[in-house]
Amino acid sequence: MIIIGIDPGIAHLGYGIVKKVHGKKNKLQAIDYGCIITKPDLTDGERLSRINNELNKLIKKYKPDIMAVENIYFFKNSKTAMPVSQARGVILLTAAKKKIPIYEFTPLQIKMDVCGYGRAEKTQIQKMVKILLNLKKAPQSDDAADALAAAICCANFLKNKIAIQNLGGQRKT
């Protein structure tokens, strides 16, 4: 199973692609990660188009089974609320057009899952992503680290959902 994690943004959109390693219980491997960067001198439409095009290239290259998207409910800066929401719309539409199931997680859920603490700092997330994915060094970009963390959180969520179903229980998301 391949999961693409996305940390939405209009200027810097973080992405992280992980896959479950066959034969290794609960082991994930990072395939790729980085940022889709749009320049501020572009129009909003041009920036959103670039996000769509680059995301389509990643989907074509890695063929993810699932997309995990960080869901932002609260914006520290009201100026970024609309552009980030527009970028999220493009992300969700791109996945839907490719028929990729989408799982959304709040920053609190992701931090709790990856770090065990919902108020974890960016450096803590980077360190835990490095450890959990057995990377040689932590991702330098906060956005890429957050995207990888979203993918890890999704993998853990799906593993737990399957375990609950195997026990005969049903859990609604």
**7 half-sphere exposure, CB direction, 13 A CA radius:** 28
Give SS3 for 60: helix
Q: Is 70 an annotated catalytic residue?
A: yes
CA distance 136 to 133: 9
User: Active site residue: 32, 41, 65, 70, which one?
Assistant: 70
In Å, how far from its chain's centre is CA 44? 22
**Where are the extended beta strands (E) located within the chain?**
2-7, 12-20, 28-37, 66-70, 102-105
User: Active site residue: 7, 54, 113, 146, which one?
Assistant: 7
- Which candidate, 37, 1, 11, 28, places its Cα nearest to that of 149? 28
Residues annotated in a binding site for Mg(2+): 7, 70, 143
What tokens appear for 93 in the block?
Answer: 């539409």
Q: Is 7 an annotated catalytic residue?
A: yes
Residues annotated in a binding site: 7, 70, 143
Active site residues: 7, 70, 143
